């Protein structure tokens, strides 16, 4: 039976005091967060060498990776510059894009208004030129109508003279007979013959008067049509609106006021541009009305020339026949 050698009291007490001292020192170091090589050495000797050394190196690697992770994702400058700043810059870019888009739309609207203004100006110039051409054409037609009526009146007088020439050649043929041929008029027919001559003279005077009156009335009507639509200023300042088939305004057109237009205009020059465009459109409407009236007056002027032209043809044929008959009678006088 083996015997247990119990340490002496002094050695036990010294070992106990040493252990308590090491424990107190390690506890104070642990509370302060300091780790000494002696503590790591004691752990390796008590815990088995390689495992404690590997644990210490793993702890150091985790701490380094934790610091790197916090530097990358934990609110550092790199995160702010990569994620927070782009979001703020992105909001600013949206505002810039909206401003750019509004600017592009404004530029397109301004370009469209400029093109519209130039288009209305060109159309107004063309309309004024067309009015001048139409007025000149109507004036020439008025002069032509007056000349036609002069020809009609002159041919009517010529026809009367041709009829008288036929009667005179008939009398001349009778008087040119032999001197031995005695021509004695019937005394009982003298009053009747004088009555016939009087009626003939009255008829001739009536024809001349009718021709003069017809010419005066037609020329007056022609001048009225021409002067009504012909003036030194080709512009027409009448009302604008929807026209009927005869050129009359059946409904007036009133554009929006400046206060109404201000609700959808955003440029300072817009009211002036809009006013000029609306004014040009009103003038174009008035010009279109005058052009239509010029066309109607031109048609009426041509229509008024049909009757005198027809009479001229009829009178010319009749006068030609009478002149031929008078020549025939003159040729028979020997």
pLDDT tens digits for 73-105? 444 444 444 444 444 445 557 677 888 888 888
Out of 60-74, 165-179, 246-260, which region has the weakest mean confidence (pLDDT)? 60-74
Residues 274-283: what's their mean pLDDT? 90
Q: Where are the domains of the chain?
A: 128-175+197-228+235-332
Please count the other Cβ atoms lying within 10 Å of the Cβ belonging to residue 127.
22
Per residue in 11-38, pLDDT (tens digit) is 444 444 545 555 555 555 545 444 444 4
* pLDDT score for 256: 61
User: What are the angstrom distances between the C-alpha of 329 and each of 26, 31, 177, 200, 246?
Assistant: 171, 165, 13, 21, 56
H-run or E-run covering 251: strand 249-252
All residues at 6 or more sequence positions from 191 whose CB lies less than 8 Å from its CB, including other chains = none
Per residue in 144-168, pLDDT (tens digit) is 999 999 999 999 999 999 988 888 8
Token pair of 175 as six digits: 């008087």
* pLDDT score for 75: 45
Residues 258-267: what's their mean pLDDT? 62
Distance between CA atoms of residues 287 and 270, nearest Å: 25
* pLDDT score for 228: 83
* pLDDT score for 268: 56
Token pair of 267 as six digits: 């440029």
* pLDDT score for 34: 45
* pLDDT score for 205: 87
Q: Which pTM value belongs to this model?
A: 0.56
């Amino acid at each position: 039976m083996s015997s247990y050698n119990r340490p002496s009291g002094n050695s036990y007490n010294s070992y106990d005091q040493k252990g308590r001292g090491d424990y107190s020192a390690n506890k104070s170091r642990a509370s302060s967060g300091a780790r000494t090589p002696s503590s790591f050495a004691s752990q390796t000797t008590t815990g088995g060498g390689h495992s404690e050394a590997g644990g210490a190196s793993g702890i150091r690697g985790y701490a380094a990776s934790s610091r790197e992770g916090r530097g990358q994702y934990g609110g550092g400058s790199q995160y702010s510059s990569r994620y927070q700043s782009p979001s703020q810059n992105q909001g600013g870019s949206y505002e810039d894009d909206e401003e750019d888009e509004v600017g592009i739309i404004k530029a397109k609207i301004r370009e469209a208004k400029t093109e519209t203004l130039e288009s209305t100006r060109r159309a107004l110039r063309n309309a004024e030129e067309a009015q001048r051409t139409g007025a000149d054409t109507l004036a020439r037609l008025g002069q032509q109508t007056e000349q036609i009526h002069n020809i009609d009146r002159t041919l009517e007088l010529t026809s009367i003279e041709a009829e008288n020439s036929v009667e005179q050649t008939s009398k001349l043929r009778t008087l040119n007979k032999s001197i031995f041929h005695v021509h004695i008029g019937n005394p009982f027919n003298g009053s009747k013959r004088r009555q016939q001559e009087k009626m003939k003279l009255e008829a001739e005077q009536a024809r001349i008067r009718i021709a003069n009156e017809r010419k005066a009335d037609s020329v007056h009507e022609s001048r009225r049509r021409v002067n009504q639509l012909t003036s030194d200023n080709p512009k027409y300042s009448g009302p604008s609106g929807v026209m009927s088939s005869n050129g009359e305004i059946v409904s007036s057109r009133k554009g929006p006021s400046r206060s109404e237009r201000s609700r959808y205009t955003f440029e300072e020059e817009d009211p002036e541009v809009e006013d000029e465009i609306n004014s040009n459109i009103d003038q174009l409407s008035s010009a279109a009305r005058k052009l239509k009236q010029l066309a109607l007056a031109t048609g009426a002027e041509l229509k008024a020339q049909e009757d005198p032209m027809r009479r001229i043809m009829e009178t010319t044929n009749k006068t030609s026949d009478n002149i031929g008959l008078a020549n025939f009678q003159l040729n028979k006088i020997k």
